[in-house]
Amino acid sequence: MVLKFIFGVFVISILFGCASKKNIIYLQGPELNENKESFYNVKLKKDDFLSISIYGVDENSSKLFNVPQISTSLNKGYSNGTASVQGYLIDSNGEIDFPIIGKIKLGGLQRNEAIDLLKNKLKDYLKDPVINIQIQNFKITVIGEVRAPGTFNIPNERITILEAIGLAGDLTINAVRKNIKVIRDENGIKKEYIIDITSKTFLNSPVYYLNQNDVIYVTPNQAKINSSNVSSSAGIFISISSLLIATINTITK
């Protein structure tokens, strides 16, 4: 009888161990047979702050269209010691105010499309210009059940959800890996995507590559929620008990 009980406990432990393993390990499932090439080209959006560098055969003519960069030791709020530059803020209409040319609508364009548009606008002023556009305020935010939540500047403007989790110190043991939320602004509308990083299928998700200003929220598991409720209830109980003891002491004196 005792041996049967021990064996039952052993089997249950194994089953629970397997269940927890499935909930924790990343990228489970069969090998992906599809070798799809990943293309990623960021779209420019309202409130993006751009640095635009233009180079041409005539250096003096090119200077007319380049805003001078000014290095500074000020903290931009997301990473210490990051230099700031002068540039162009895409306004609520998706436009920038460009030297000599005036208003140009870049919002909604991919980088290569924006470069082609600028080249077309500059064809009367410069011959075969080389144009570089970079988003200076490209950032993502990771909150919830990660070891180091925060907002992070991404200088190369290309980051995957796994890299973002790595920046935040990885998930805690209390994180629900099958219910990671990515909140994204798409044309002024907030959209929520649910990601399961225990399955390899999320590698094909539209939010595998993050966009500027994406927010990742990692939800806590039920154990974490329950422990928070217990801690809160214990705190309230201790406060009430202390108040009652103080009141009794006052009355009995």
pLDDT at 253: 62
* CATH classification code of 138-220: 3.10.560.10
pLDDT at 78: 42
Confidence of residue 242 (pLDDT cuts 50, 70, 90): low
pLDDT at 219: 94
**Is the pLDDT score of 117 beyond 90?**
yes
**Is the pLDDT score of 45 beyond 90?**
yes
Which has more confidence, 199 or 228?
199
Give me the residue spans of the domains in the chain.
49-135, 138-220, 225-253
**Is the pLDDT score of 54 beyond 90?**
yes
What b/e sequence results for 46-85 when a residue is b if at least 16 CB atoms lie within 10 Å of its CB, and e otherwise?
A: bebbbbbebebeeeeebeebebeeeeeeeeeeeeeeeebe
Confidence of residue 162 (pLDDT cuts 50, 70, 90): very high
The average pLDDT across 226-244 equals 59
- What fold is seen in the domain 49-135? wza like fold (3.30.1950)
The average pLDDT across 23-36 equals 66
Query: Using one digit for the tens of pLDDT, what is the confidence trace for 95-113?
Result: 999 999 999 999 999 999 9
pLDDT at 36: 53
- Extract the tokens encoding 83: 């230099």
**Is the pLDDT score of 201 beyond 80?**
yes
The average pLDDT across 6-20 equals 45
Beta bridge partner(s), residue 54: 131
**Is the pLDDT score of 189 beyond 80?**
yes
Average pLDDT, the chain: 80
The average pLDDT across 77-106 equals 79
Strand 139-144 and strand 215-220: pairing?
A: parallel
Length of the chain: 253
